[in-house]
Every structure is written in C-alpha cells, then in structure tokens.
Structure 1
Amino acid sequence: MMHLKPLGVPGKCPAHLRAWSALDDKFIVDNFPQLTAKEMASRVNRSVEAVRVRIVLLRSRGEIKCYRFRPYTKDEKAFIYLHSQDMTVNEMAHHLGRTTWSLEDFIYRHRISFAKFGDHHHCCLVSDEDVSLIRELRDSDPLHPVPFREISEKFGIKVATAKQAYYYRLTADYRTAHELLPR
C-alpha cells in the first residue's frame, strides 16, 4: 500500500486563496441584518458565493444569531388580502418593500389566489356591466333570443367578442365563487 504525502498544511489557507481576516468576519456579523450578501461581497472584495458560505459558517459557529426574516404585519396581511384581486405580485411586492420571492412564499403558504376576474383581467375587452347587459338581452326571450349581430351593433364590438362575452367571460362575481370553492 502506498502512502501519499498530504497536500498543503492543515489549518493554513492555500497560497492561491485569501484567508478570511477577523475584520472581514466582524464586518459580516455587524452588517448582516442590514446588507445583502451581494452588497457585503463588494465591500470585502470577495465573491457573493464566498460571502454566503462564510455567513453559513459564522451562523453555525454561533457568531451570527439573527435572521433577516421580517414577519408580515397585520396591516401588510390585510393589504395583501384586499388587493390580491387588482394588483399583480410584482406591483404588490414593490409597494410593500418586499422581494417577489418572499411575497410568493407568503401567498403559497396562505393559499391566496391572485386570479384576476372581471375588469381587472388583462385581456378584458368588455366591462362587467356590458357583459351583464349582453346576457340580459340574449336571455330576455328564450324562444327568440337577440342575435349576436344585433348585440354587437348596439355595443360597437365584433360579433366574436359578443359571443365570447356571453359564453366565456367571467365577471367579478366569480371571484367569490372561486375563493369559496375547494381547490
């Protein structure tokens, strides 16, 4: 059996790498709650991944005791529930000063639906009021329904749009049904 001599000296940083100094560690521990790993990396002149690994090491040693997680307040939760029907996730994250990932995690954990119905949908061509009027016109006489051609002329829309509004368009009333029905 062959015995190989170990490469390098145990406990000493290799020559092609730079050892972490006590000042670097102190800077990371002191600024961990305020700065991101990317910001700290630029200040200590290291890669972002190196700073992340060092944070994990310092946390395992017990030098970093806090986490960056900031719990959602009652006002933020109420805002999320209230505006989930009319704001996108990116708009809401920007408004709350949170990351998109954090907000998506909160949405997933609390099973909040961001489905847009009615006038808030991005493909909306006809308002909810017009949809209800189209349906009333079409359903007014079951034996002789008003043709879609006449409905489209009255509302100034295409025939295909009138058909789509009558058969497929979901109004804002469907939001409550969507939230109450099991998924």
Structure 2
Amino acid sequence: MINIRFINDIKINVPKNKFETNITYPIVEPFSYAHIYFDRSTYDLVYEIIEPKLTENEEKIYKNIIFYIEKLLYIKLSEIGNLNDAINYLQRLYDFVLNDLGIQLGQSSYEKIFYYIFRDLYGYNKVDSLLRDPLIEDIECSGPGYPIFIVHRYFGNLKTNIILNDKEIRDLIEKFALRAGKHISYAEPILDATLPD
C-alpha cells in the first residue's frame, strides 16, 4: 500500500524579517509541500505548491489509467467517507488497470502516478493541496489565467503558483457542487454550500 500522510499539525517559525522568509512544510507527505518565500523580483511573499513532476511517459500512462479507472468506477468517490477506504479502493483499481494493460512501473513512477490519480479523482485537482493545508484560511480565484490567492494564518494574503484555465475552473465548481450534494447550472449559477471534508 502506498503511504500517503495528510499533515494536520504544522508548526513553523515565522522570521521577523519577511525578506528572509524561505519556509517549506509538508501537506501531503511525501508528495505535496508548501514553499513560502520572498520573491525579490516582485518584492513580495509567494506561496508555492511543490509536487513531483511527471515525465512525458508517466503523463501518458497517467492519462491512460485515469481514462480506464473512470470507466470502472461503480460508486461515486465522493460517497466514500473514509480517506483510507478511498485510497485503498483507488489503489485496487489502479493495480487492476496496470495489470490489465500490462504496464509495469518502477516504485517511484508507480507512487507519483497514483498520487495524481488520487488527487484528481478523489481530491480537488490542482487546488487539492491548498484545501488540505490547515494554515490556509481562505482561497480566492479571480478567474481563468490568474494566479489563485490565499490567506495564510501567519503570512496573510499570498499569491500562489496555481493558475487554472476555464475548463479546470468549471470542473472544480462542478466537483464542489457534487461533493456538497448541490446542483449548479447556467440557470442557477450561484451556489451556497459546505463541503463535507
């Protein structure tokens, strides 16, 4: 089983001088980390999500596997309340598809690809780490092509390295609505809901 740890108790030392800020802490170990640093070119603090990069071949395998897993899902992932149950369920499907397609992966590629499958199918895609960071108090998306801004408990308003396109924003809104058990459409474009997690 892949060891994914969601870090909920984060302690950081905030430097007195913001120019010296260079802090990295785990969000989803060992895959996702927050890096807060002072950017000398913009003269401001930046919140950066660091995730493993997929090679071109890993990206192709990921897309192929996601396609098959989505066809095999016989229950809604949003209905699996327990995080470990969701991980186990997705890993069984992942192993089945790899075996069925005759794909053999090294341990590093296996784990990286699974992380993205979990993040994108059970989690909230590119913004999943932002939603899982217990030190983030608010998230703001001004629209496609703009960086997402957050309110951090210790550093206040920060620009992130996450930029969503129009399709990614629509998909995310639909996922939020689905998880909250609500409906959203062009006829009813405003949604007031609370996510279960």
TM-score category (smaller protein): under 0.3
Task: For CA contacts below 8 A with separation 6 or more, give which structure has more relative contact order.
Answer: 2
Higher percent of residues as strand: 2
Higher percent of residues as helix: 1
Name the larger-Rg structure. 1
TM-score, reference length from structure 2: 0.25
